[in-house]
Structures are given as structure tokens and as C-alpha cells.
């Protein structure tokens, strides 16, 4: 969705590649002392002193990962930064710099890219991240955005997916399922709009869900919170594909099993009511919905008292010996095998490893 579509439309060719890069990146003055050289040379130069450097990259393709019919470009820019920052936080690190590469067709005017970059700029400012470079090229069809994020952590603080032990508690930040249900609401509105372009949607009751879909916030606060609580997770991952898929990643990488308790899964009341409205099981949504960008981690039992009662964190299960398997314990107290079945890839029986 290109918001100021009524106003001027400047063709990309009017600026040329270098003019466009200068125009889009003019606000990206570095904020961090670790950024020695940002945009404007053949490469950026960073100095992390005695920290470990974390690197992660994500590619977003129009029609595959986003639909511009209901995704405003500013939100898309914001979300593209969040998706990457979330991966840095999942290593228990601090996100510091990003590079942004775009492939764009001339169906996009300069103003559309300005909106995309205003979202990137907003996220970079709020999350204290420097934009240090990128690449710009043309595309014959849609829009492609690739962001690479860099981050830092002390070597003793880095948390991998592989360190969970039997009896560790399984903990999740925030609540789950809202982003997926936000997408369902938006998809429904898109169909309504197609049938009747004059329909005035009343989306007030869905605000939280739509925000979680269009403007997710990565959990920048969790690594410092854990430090403050003096808890080092034994394993950690961010929730991009749905809780069950991420739990399975922790188990496989750590060679453990898990008991995940359905009744403990944190759900916002808005998710519960919209699931009733759509006649979908809210547990299924939390397990398979995805795009929550919460952090999922394990802690040793000794750390229980340190996180108990923290409003940001919920204990949802515990790890077991590998040979006990991976299970969901339902509200009815039956034990069913946990399978990864992302809603976006329902055709796949079980996620390949």
C-alpha cells in the first residue's frame, strides 16, 4: 500500500541510481561509536573492540513474504528491520548495524521508496541501529528487500540453540498468535474491499492483532532483562515460524525432548476472541501461526526464582530426555506428539531440518 498515492510520483529514472541512493540514505548519519565508516565508500568499517560479532540476513520478496495490498511500505521497512534484529536478540546479543539492499521495478515511484525508507529509519532510530550500506538494483517485477543485521555480544553471553538440558524450563516472552490472526483479519478485509470498494471497515477491536502483524516489535529488551535478572539461558531462538517449529529446533539442536503445556501458552484476550469469531483453535494458532518475533529459551531449574512472576516471561514447559520425545500436554491432560506445521506451508507434513 503506497499511502500518498494522490500526490506527486517521481519516476525512478529522474534520479538515477546514485541520485536515488543519496536521496534514500541522506538521513542515515551513524549514531554508534562502533560505526567507523558507514554509507559512501566501497565498504563500511566497524570496530567492535573485544566483542563477538553476530551476523544474520533475511530476504523479503513481494508476493511471497508481503502483499502491498495491505502492507503499507513504511510498515514493511519497519518490519524488515525487526525480522533481522530479532535474530540478533535470539543470540542474546545487541543489534548494532544493518545493510539494506533493494531490487525495485519502475512501477514504484521515488515516493514509494521514501516511505519504505522512512520505516527503516524509524526502526533504526528506535532500536539504536546504524544503516551502514546496501545495494540498489532494478527488478523486472516486484520489490525485493534484503537486510543484513550485525550485532555484538560478549563471548560468555552468546546463547545458541544447542545448550538445553533435560529438566530445564522452557520460557517464552510476550504472547503468541496475534500476528497470524492480524493477517487473517487483513485478508478478510481485502476480500471485502474487492467485493465492495466503498466498504468502511471497522477494525478497532482488531488493533492489537493488526499491529502485531504490520508493526512487530523485536524483543530488544529481553537480553538486558536476563542480564539484570542474572539468568543466562541454556538455549534460545526467536519465534518466526510458530511456537511448535521453534520448540522442535531447540530440542533437535540440544538433543532433548520436551513437554509443552497447552494451558500455559500465553494468549492475548484479543487472540482468544478473534479465534472464536474465525472458529479456529487458538492453541493451533499459537503453535503454528508464526511472525510473533518473541523469544523462546530454556533456563536451568536453579534460575526459576529469578524469573518467576516476571510479567514479560511465561514458563510453558520443560525439557526431557531425548528418547522421551516431544509432546504437547493438552488441557485434557493427554499427551500428543508435537509437530511443526506452519500455516504458511500446510502442504509440508513436517518441517525439514
Give me the residues that bind ligand ADP (CB under 6 A), please: 21, 24-25, 39-42, 100, 102, 131, 133-136
CB of 98 to ligand ADP, least distance (A): 9
Q: Residue 71: how many CB atoms within 10 A of its CB?
A: 18
| Partner from Mg ion, ligand ADP, none binding residue 313, C-beta < 5-8 Å depending on class | none
Cα separation of 162 and 147, whole Å?
Answer: 25
Flag whether 117 is marked binding.
yes
Dihedral sign of CA atoms 172, 272, 209, 279 in order: positive
Residue with smaller CB distance to ligand ADP, 97 or 254 = 97
Residue 115 or 303 with smaller CB distance to ligand ADP:
115
Binding partner selected for residue 102 from ligand ADP, Mg ion, none, CB under the kind-specific 5 to 8 Å limit: ligand ADP
CB of 77 to Mg ion, least distance (A): 19
The bridge status of strand 235-238 relative to strand 130-138 is: unpaired
| 177 Rama sector, left if φ>0, alpha if ψ -120 to 50, beta otherwise | left
Decide if 201 contacts 189 (C-beta within 8 A). Answer: yes
State the number of binding residues for Mg ion (CB under 5 A).
1
Q: Contact at 8 Å (CB) between 321 and 164?
A: no
Q: Of 39 and 178, which CB lies nearer to Mg ion in the complex structure?
A: 39
**SS3 at position 189:** helix
Closest distance of CB 198 from ligand ADP, Å = 38
Please list the residues that pair with 236 across neighbouring strands: 297
Alpha-carbon torsion (299, 302, 307, 308), positive or negative:
positive
Phi, psi of 263 (to 5 degrees): -65, -15
Nearer to ligand ADP, 19 or 63 (CB): 19
Residue 222 binding: pick among Mg ion, ligand ADP, none (C-beta 5-8 Å cut-off by kind) = none
Q: Say if residue 305 carries a ligand binding annotation.
A: no
Which of ligand ADP, Mg ion, none does residue 353 bind to, with CB < 5 to 8 Å depending on kind?
none
Report the nearest approach of Mg ion to the CB of residue 135 (Å): 4
Query: Does 135 interact with Mg ion (rule: CB under 5 A)?
Result: yes
Confirm or reject binding of residue 263 to Mg ion (CB under 5 A): no
Q: Which is nearer to Mg ion, 135 or 321 (CB)?
A: 135
Residues 6+ apart with CB under 8 A from 41: none
Nearest distance from residue 107's CB to Mg ion, in Å?
22
47 touches Mg ion (CB under 5 A): no
Q: Which three cell numbers stand for residue 314?
A: 511465561
Q: Describe the chain by its helix, strand, coil percentages, rounded to 5.
A: 35, 25, 40
Is position 161 annotated in a ligand binding site?
yes
Quick one: what does residue 100 bind among ligand ADP, Mg ion, none, with the CB cut-off 5 to 8 Å set by partner type? ligand ADP
Nearer to Mg ion, 139 or 162 (CB): 139
- Contacts of residues 7-14 at CB distance under 8 Å and 24 or more positions apart, as own/partner, are 7/111, 8/109, 8/111, 9/109, 9/110, 9/111, 10/109, 10/110, 10/111, 11/106, 11/109, 11/110, 12/104, 12/106, 12/108, 12/109, 12/110, 12/113, 12/138, 13/106, 14/110
Close Cβ partners of 261 (under 8 Å, ≥ 6 residues apart): 316, 317, 328, 329
Smallest distance, Å, CB 137 to Mg ion?
7
Q: Binds 177, which of Mg ion, ligand ADP, none (CB < 5 to 8 A, cut-off by type)?
A: none
Answer with the entry of Mg ion, ligand ADP, none that 204 interacts with (C-beta below 5 to 8 A by kind): none
Query: CB nearest Mg ion: which residue?
Result: 135
Residues making contact with Mg ion (CB under 5 A): 135
Binding residue positions for ATP: 117, 134-135, 161, 240
Binding residue positions: 42, 56-58, 65, 87, 117, 134-135, 161, 238, 240-241, 291, 343
Binding residue positions for substrate: 65, 291, 343
Binding residue positions for Mg(2+): 42, 56-58, 87, 135, 238, 241
Amino acid at each position: 500500500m503506497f499511502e500518498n498515492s494522490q500526490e506527486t510520483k517521481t519516476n525512478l529514472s529522474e534520479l538515477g541510481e546514485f541520485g536515488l541512493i543519496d536521496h534514500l540514505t541522506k538521513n542515515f548519519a551513524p549514531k554508534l561509536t562502533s560505526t567507523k565508516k558507514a554509507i559512501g565508500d566501497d565498504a563500511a568499517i566497524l570496530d567492535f573492540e573485544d566483542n563477538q560479532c553476530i551476523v544474520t540476513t533475511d530476504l523479503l520478496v513481494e508476493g511471497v513474504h508481503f502483499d502491498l495490498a495491505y502492507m503499507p511500505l513504511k510498515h514493511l521497512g519497519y518490519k524488515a528491520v525487526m525480522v533481522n534484529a530479532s535474530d540478533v536478540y535470539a543470540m542474546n546479543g545487541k543489534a548494532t548495524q544493518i545493510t539494506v539492499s533493494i531490487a525495485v521495478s519502475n512501477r514504484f515511484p521515488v515516493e514509494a521508496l521514501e516511505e519504505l525508507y522512512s520505516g527503516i529509519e524509524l526502526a533504526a532510530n528506535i532500536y539504536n541501529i546504524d544503516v551502514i550500506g546496501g545495494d540498489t538494483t532494478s527488478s523486472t517485477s516486484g520489490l525485493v528487500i534484503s537486510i543484513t543485521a550485525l550485532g555484538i555480544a560478549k563471548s560468555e553471553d552468546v546463547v545458541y540453540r544447542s545448550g538445553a538440558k533435560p529438566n530445564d524450563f522452557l520460557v517464552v516472552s510476550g504472547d503468541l498468535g496475534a500476528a497470524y490472526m492480524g493477517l487473517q483479519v487483513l485478508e478478510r478485509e481485502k476480500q471485502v474491499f474487492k467485493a465492495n470498494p466503498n466498504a468502511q471497515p471497522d477494525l478497532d477491536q482488531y488493533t492489537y492483532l493488526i499491529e502485531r502483524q504490520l508493526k512487530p516489535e523485536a524483543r530488544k529488551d529481553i537480553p538486558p532483562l536476563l542480564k539484570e535478572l542474572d539468568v543466562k539461558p541454556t538455549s534460545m531462538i526467536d519465534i518466526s515460524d510458530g511456537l511448535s517449529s521453534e520448540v522442535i529446533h531447540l530440542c533437535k539442536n540440544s538433543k532433548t525432548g520436551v513437554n509443552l503445556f497447552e494451558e500455559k501458552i500465553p494468549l492475548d484476550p484479543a487472540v482468544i476472541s478473534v479465534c472464536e469469531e474465525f472458529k479456529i483453535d487458538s492453541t493451533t494458532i499459537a503453535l503454528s501461526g508464526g511472525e510473533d518475533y518473541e523469544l523462546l529459551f530454556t533456563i536451568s531449574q536453579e534460575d526459576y526464582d529469578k524469573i518467576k512472576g516476571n510479567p514479560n516471561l511465561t514458563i510453558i514447559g520443560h525439557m526431557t530426555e531425548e528418547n522421551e520425545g516431544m509432546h504437547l500436554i493438552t488441557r485434557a491432560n493427554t499427551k500428543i506428539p508435537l509437530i511443526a506445521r506452519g500455516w504458511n506451508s500446510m502442504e509440508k507434513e513436517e518441517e525439514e531440518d
